[in-house]
Structure 1
Amino acid sequence: MPPARQHRARRRADMSLLGGIRPPIAVLSALLLSLAAVTALVLGPAGDTSLPKAVQTSQQHFAEDGAIALRASIDESVTDLDRAAGLFSAGDPVSGDTVLDKLGNTYQKWMGTAVIEIRSGKLVAARGETVPLTSLDRSTLGAEGGLAPRMVRLENGEVRLLSFALLSWPGRPQLLLVASNSLKFPGISLGQFRAIAVVDRSGAILSSDGIPEPEQVLTELQRKEVAASTKQLKSFAKQASAQAGRQPLSTKEPGSGGYLGVSGSLLGGTWLSDRSVAGYATLSSPQPGESTTATALGLTVVAMVKVAEDPTRSTSSVFWLVAAGALLVIGGIAVAVLLGTVQRPLIRLFLESRRLTRGDLDRPVSVPGYGEARRIGTALERLRRQLLGEPAEDTGPAPAGRGLRRVGTRALLAVSAVLLLAWSVPLLLVLNRADGTVVVPQQLVNDQRERTDTLTDRVRRALNEGEADLQSVASLIGDRTTPAEMTKVLDRTLNQHLRYQSLYVVDASGHVVARVGDKPREAGPKPAEADPLRLLGQGGTKPIVAGTAEIPGRDGSAVVGEFRIDFLNSMLKRPGLGVVRVVDDHGQIIAGNTGYLAFQSLPSERLQDLVLAAGQKVGKSAHPAGVLYREGGVQIAAAAPFVGGGPAKKLGWTVVSWQPADRLAIPEYDVQHRTVLAGLLGAAAAVACLGWMHIVVARPLRALADQAEALADGDRRTVLFPRNHDEVGAVTRALEVLRQYLQGQRRDRPTGRRRAPDTAHEQHVRN
């Protein structure tokens, strides 16, 4: 063979080593070794499981709920005060007593209100507790941000939040409307053994709830426990204030999303086998990048609870060590099968075919013992004999192999796949199943119940606030006589409150006099006969919540506001609470945090029974209910009906939430998830590498076996084209060379004389 041809042949042989059978086997070996190491060293160790991570995360979500409720309460209070002052200023001048009387009749949210004359500082009117006006600097009221709410500490140590609004009429002294309120949480359900506090930027506690006063306890042990809880809460407050200045994304795990502000959990000390756990959350705007009045105050909410630890609760690494060892053994057997039954026969064919193309026809072809490699080897031997000029009757088709000799490459790959899947499938489907053995901490059930109760109160208060706004608008519209003036008041209210989709004024007969927003969907019944809040739209596809406030002195005319259902849905979006639904007094779905069909029943009888159980009155009122049940897996569910005052209570609605326990960071489920992950990784490695070998080796080898047998049977016209530069492609090129020799197209026909092989390269390929 000329030197140039030898160089090209050597180059093709080198290229075959870049693809073909060796890379997938090498990659499979590396993946199995890596997976064994990951199984033993990464997936196995679980750390301290005496206090599940889910309990800590639940406290973080509890603090986030408190921060949302406090932020909404402060912003709503400021907005209501500004809107009321604006409506008063837009009408005829009234006295300070009239302003405070109407304000008190409409809203019952402030602890004290006052009206002062800005220029002289004279107190014009006051209601409720004494407003701390001595701390007010009247010279700053006209400056930018002068009317921003501010916190004032009283002599007894309590903190009050002062909100301001201007009352101005042409030709009369400008007045300042001041409202005072505490920083207590509205409607937070604490349950047992929980405390919650509001913390400022320096870590000082501005208000707290849940820890009894020392004089309220009886025994010495209780006094020590109260002192320890107070000390621990102060420590948590300092830690939370230090975290409050960080970026929100830096306090959460990547991809967790959820709360827009800074939030997290903290671990404290132990007291009588109970560990203190806290969650913290800064007040955050409901929309990214925005700022509200409440968020500018720099407040942080800290929620602390005592949880009983289980020191005997631990996970062992023995299972993972055994699994890693089993993978090494099974993987070694699978790789050995591939090396011995697929790779070595294919490389032997590659070397034998090259020997024949170089003219070495003296030695018989070493024929592999199985499958397509055996068929190709038999065809090469027949072609060698034909090149030596043996009689045609001695070169006919070789008899088909029997037994194991008929096993093909695909069957050998299937054997390797069965070996590897024998390790992966039990991990995926059988081992470490947690549904039958999981121990769900009672604290998680309690948190689900208390958070659902808090959310129920938030929805009820939002509806009551909306009805109060309508009452305020109705009292001010009473002095407007033309539809244009009414429309102006309605438009201002609609722009200030996004809870309404339409606002309109109807007369005694139900005829719409003035309106803004969407077209009224339900104007009746007559205003004088309507409930303050009512649910409409039954039998349709969209619920309608309408509020009605009668206009004083208008003979049955009223202001009607239709609430946005999306407004209710947005309040139900709480991380870590699962699926949330609001159902009416008939158990039909009204709103939800995920997709739902309106006026449909709950998806489970267990949930329907839970709603009925929560609605049963114990004493004078109903109470929230939380349960743990097994139906399609372990589920945590809770339901809380509307309780408390206001017109929303008459609706008889209930908020119900549920979530599967396997989504929580409970040790048993963590082990199950890690087991499934190991099985998935093992199955993925097997499918990827064996599928790779099937595509680049098994299928081309099967096609080549048919072509080789056809060539040995006498087909000299079919040209053999190699598809890839690998071992199969090299054998294909060798067969094409032999075909051309047999067809008489080559002048340098092999003569049977053995030529010197490329010893160094062939030795490398053999190895």
Structure 2
Amino acid sequence: MSLLGGIRPPIAVLSALLLSLAAVTALVLGPAGDTRLPEAVRTSQQHFAEDGAIALRASIDESVTDLERSAGLFSAGAPVSGDAVLDKLGNTYQKWMGTAVIEIRSGKLVAARGETVPLTSLDRSELGAEGGLAPRMVRLENGEVRLLSFALLSWPGRPQLLLVASNSLKFPGISLGQFRAIAVVDRAGTILSSDGIPEPEQVLTDLQRKEVTASNKQLRAFAKKAAGQAGRKPLTTKEPGSGGYLGISGSLLGGTWLSDRSVAGYATLSSPQPGEATTATALGLTVVAMVKVAEDPTHTTSPVFGLVAAGALLLIGGIAVAVLLGTVQRPLIRLFLESRRLTRGDLARPVNVPGYGEAHRIGTALERLRRRLLGEPGGDDGPVPAPRGARRIGTRGLLAVSALLLLAWSAPLLLILNRADATVVVPQQLVNDQRERTDTLTDRVRRALNEGEADLQSVASLIGDRTTPADMTKVLDRTLNQHLRYQSLYVVDAAGRVVTRVGGAPHAARTKPATADPIELLGRGGTKPLIVGTAEIPGRDGSALVGEFRIDFLNSMLKRPGLGVVRVVDDHGKVVAGNTGYLAFQSLPSDRLKDLVLAAGQRVGKSAHPAGVLYRENGVQIAGAAPFVGGGPAKELGWTVVSWQPANRLAIPEYDVQHRTVLAGLLGAAAAATCLGWMHIVVARPLRALAEQAEALADGDRKTVLFPRNHDEVGAVTRSLELIRQQLQAQRGPQPAGRRGVPDTASQQQVRN
């Protein structure tokens, strides 16, 4: 018989699968253990550190790019003094703590603004070498670290100058909330800058000083561990196919202080595109974010449910297998043995007829054929009436009964048991993280728009004295290639006519003064938002430089792992940008989200703050919203960033148990469908067809040849019926000597062959 055919293999496989599923259910469904700190909290700190690394990397790269681009624009124009360079630079950008211009050959300080730039650490002989203008970190006498960026200023016939900008490694616009600290760490694990933990002498009580000291000690320990992890390769720190952050990132678990557990996330500075390197990523910096989380000492899970579910599966599965063994397998094997007995010539004993369905019909037909072979009266009776009552239950019905038994265990697990939405306890830290991360993302979007407007102001001031459109086109083309945030740049005169342009065709016609609304949103009522920045060109009688922002530029900044769905809405509550598919200027999908946006924006001003809520709508949802606050022209847009995600996607113990429960139900249903479907294909359908053929043979059909389709029990019974058919045909001709009804041995041998 076939190795995979017949009735035995599917029942054996079903038994093995049910035993395995029972063991898995007992071990996994309800494990006992310490769940006082959900895994979702640790993952959230990892995402928080990734946000900080993205913000720091973007700030450093943007600062270096702005400095180099400004120096290039100054060098392309008429020579100006060092003071004029720094004045224009300071009026356009307010991002550097100190700037200076020095003469490279003599080392003479030409001009300086802001705090004193540490020029004594600068080796001018290295400037001409490859990578000599790469940014570098310098530690001051007071222990603080400054990042120095460089750019060359050169004009024909003038001494070559070096433009130097100094900045700290502070995070731009990171919302820390309460009980959180964040730090920048170098390759050796040394903390270069930190924020969120006060100095011990700045607190009042002894307990507070001890807590601050313990926090600083824990942060230094996390910094050492994170620096050690940062030396690994990204592919070794993530599961295959997990995607997400391109750099090294993870979470760390620390000690406790007064029932609060220290949890940290770390992330190295990584480029936005795989395989690329930026100025910031070459510095070898790592961001560490630490927070203290209150643990719930009473929150544990019990193995009782898993043991009960496993016991119920063993009981129900045993009944289902017993039904299959007693009502499907045993009658079929009995038919196989009885049919073999008849073909061997043992016709003395009546056929042991099974009591149900197709097996009963085939057994009755075999009994009639036995009597026909013996020549007894009654063998030529007419068609046998169909079985009644319980005898009518066929193999398909028995399989359906077994399926119902197994579904009685699987269906409650799939649909009813361990539903967590009504009982879940979502840690408050997750709500806080959703709010703070949304606020950080809001600041990132606002700063990006402000940076874009500052670039327009810088370019407009430098092309003010350029009279020919060709010269202006060169400057615009260089700016468009250096910054991917614009889809088109063009210069318009006072009447709104386009003088010169680069990039895509202009979509916005300027009719208002260039000094009004530096950034505005156009395209309402259309299919695509249009964000336009404008900067007046000095000395050109109302001419202006217009830049149209790519909406994909905003959408790309909103892609943050672990933050869910993110939308940017305007002052009317209409969607402008998002991290997933959306329709422009549509409303938010929920009234709760609309109320959250209103609550976050109703205190615009000094008391403006992000908002975070936990609400129940289509399950438990975590949401956060933060309006545009701070300086810059983007604040006047009145936009708000809102994010939300279902809590069941987070690694919370109650949802973990729910997911495992659903998985157990799915596995049970899949095992039942696979094995019972297997039996229906290889047993039930062939057996039903064989019953019709056996009854036709018993009713006198001697012409239809019966041939087996599979080498299994059903096929064996089919071969036996074919031998009986040949014996009945032989009875019509001359009978051999001997007892009537004895089968023809040569005919049997021919069929077997």
CA spacing shift, 1:393–1:229, aligned 2, 3 Å: closer
**Separation in structure 1 between the aligned mates of residue 8 and residue 160 of structure 2, nearest angstrom:** 89
1:425-436 superposed matches below 5 A: 425-436=411-422
SS of the residue aligned with 1:570?
helix
CA spacing shift, 1:520–1:362, aligned 2, 3 Å: same
Task: Name 1:729's counterpart in structure 2.
Answer: 715
**Separation in structure 1 between the aligned mates of residue 123 and residue 379 of structure 2, nearest angstrom:** 119
Indicate the RMSD between aligned Cα atoms, in angstroms: 1.6
Task: Name 1:94's counterpart in structure 2.
Answer: 80
State the Cα distance separating 1:358 from its structure 2 match. 2.0
SS of the residue aligned with 1:443?
helix
State the Cα distance separating 1:528 from its structure 2 match. 2.9
CA spacing shift, 1:529–1:121, aligned 2, 3 Å: closer
**Separation in structure 2 between the aligned mates of residue 747 and residue 247 of structure 1, nearest angstrom:** 89
CA spacing shift, 1:246–1:410, aligned 2, 3 Å: same
Give the counterpart letter for 2:65 in structure 1: T
Assess if the C-alpha contact under 8 Å between 2:173 and 2:443 holds in 1: yes
Assess if the C-alpha contact under 8 Å between 1:353 and 1:731 holds in 2: yes
Assess if the C-alpha contact under 8 Å between 1:452 and 1:639 holds in 2: yes
State the Cα distance separating 1:215 from its structure 2 match. 2.1
1:257-406 superposed matches below 5 A: 257-391=243-377, 394-406=380-392
**Separation in structure 2 between the aligned mates of residue 171 and residue 356 of structure 1, nearest angstrom:** 117
**Once the two structures are aligned, what percentage of the paired residues are identical?**
88
Give the counterpart letter for 2:667 in structure 1: L
1:511 aligns with 2:497: yes
**Separation in structure 2 between the aligned mates of residue 481 and residue 590 of structure 1, nearest angstrom:** 37
Assess if the C-alpha contact under 8 Å between 2:604 and 2:629 holds in 1: no
State the Cα distance separating 1:752 from its structure 2 match. 3.9
1:215-234 superposed matches below 5 A: 215-234=201-220
Which structure 2 residue ranges, 5 or more long, are not aligned?
Answer: 746-753
Task: Name 1:606's counterpart in structure 2.
Answer: 592
**Separation in structure 2 between the aligned mates of residue 78 and residue 377 of structure 1, nearest angstrom:** 90
Correspondence for 1:22 among 8, 31, 54: 8
State the Cα distance separating 1:350 from its structure 2 match. 1.0
SS of the residue aligned with 1:304?
strand
Assess if the C-alpha contact under 8 Å between 2:489 and 2:547 holds in 1: yes
Correspondence for 1:742 among 718, 728, 731: 728
CA spacing shift, 1:393–1:254, aligned 2, 3 Å: closer
Task: Name 2:543's counterpart in structure 1.
Answer: 557
1:294-693 superposed matches below 5 A: 294-391=280-377, 394-528=380-514, 530-617=516-603, 620-693=606-679
1:124 aligns with 2:110: yes
Assess if the C-alpha contact under 8 Å between 1:621 and 1:643 holds in 2: no
Task: Name 2:127's counterpart in structure 1.
Answer: 141
Task: Name 2:241's counterpart in structure 1.
Answer: 255
**Separation in structure 2 between the aligned mates of residue 484 and residue 295 of structure 1, nearest angstrom:** 37
SS of the residue aligned with 2:288?
strand
User: TM-score w.r.t. structure 1 length?
Assistant: 0.95
State the Cα distance separating 1:247 from its structure 2 match. 1.4
Give the counterpart letter for 2:24 in structure 1: V
**Separation in structure 2 between the aligned mates of residue 393 and residue 593 of structure 1, nearest angstrom:** 79
**Separation in structure 1 between the aligned mates of residue 735 and residue 152 of structure 2, nearest angstrom:** 109
Assess if the C-alpha contact under 8 Å between 1:68 and 1:283 holds in 2: yes
After superposition, the C-alpha distances for 1:260-309 in whole angstroms (9 at most, x for unaligned) are 00000000000000000000000000000110000000000000000000
Assess if the C-alpha contact under 8 Å between 2:53 and 2:267 holds in 1: yes
Assess if the C-alpha contact under 8 Å between 1:59 and 1:279 holds in 2: yes
The total of aligned residue pairs comes to: 742
Assess if the C-alpha contact under 8 Å between 1:18 and 1:726 holds in 2: no
- Which segment drifts farther, 357-366 or 699-708? 357-366
After superposition, the C-alpha distances for 1:509-534 in whole angstroms (9 at most, x for unaligned) are 01000100000111222343641000
**Separation in structure 2 between the aligned mates of residue 651 and residue 528 of structure 1, nearest angstrom:** 17
SS of the residue aligned with 2:287?
strand
**Separation in structure 2 between the aligned mates of residue 17 and residue 286 of structure 1, nearest angstrom:** 55
State the Cα distance separating 1:245 from its structure 2 match. 0.7
**Separation in structure 2 between the aligned mates of residue 355 and residue 528 of structure 1, nearest angstrom:** 104
CA spacing shift, 1:465–1:18, aligned 2, 3 Å: closer
State the Cα distance separating 1:392 from its structure 2 match. 5.9
Assess if the C-alpha contact under 8 Å between 2:324 and 2:399 holds in 1: yes
After superposition, the C-alpha distances for 1:306-360 in whole angstroms (9 at most, x for unaligned) are 0000010000001101111111111111111111110011011111112222222
User: TM-score w.r.t. structure 2 length?
Assistant: 0.97
Give the counterpart letter for 1:743 in structure 2: Q
- Which segment drifts farther, 338-347 or 246-255? 246-255
**Separation in structure 2 between the aligned mates of residue 164 and residue 747 of structure 1, nearest angstrom:** 115
Give the counterpart letter for 2:175 in structure 1: S
Give the counterpart letter for 1:350 in structure 2: F
State the Cα distance separating 1:47 from its structure 2 match. 3.2
**Separation in structure 2 between the aligned mates of residue 381 and residue 18 of structure 1, nearest angstrom:** 30
State the Cα distance separating 1:711 from its structure 2 match. 1.1
Task: Name 1:155's counterpart in structure 2.
Answer: 141
State the Cα distance separating 1:472 from its structure 2 match. 0.4
State the Cα distance separating 1:18 from its structure 2 match. 4.5
**Separation in structure 2 between the aligned mates of residue 612 and residue 123 of structure 1, nearest angstrom:** 52
State the Cα distance separating 1:542 from its structure 2 match. 0.4
Assess if the C-alpha contact under 8 Å between 1:360 and 1:752 holds in 2: no
Task: Name 1:763's counterpart in structure 2.
Answer: none
State the Cα distance separating 1:43 from its structure 2 match. 3.4
- Which segment drifts farther, 249-258 or 555-564? 249-258
**Separation in structure 2 between the aligned mates of residue 438 and residue 748 of structure 1, nearest angstrom:** 84
SS of the residue aligned with 1:560?
strand
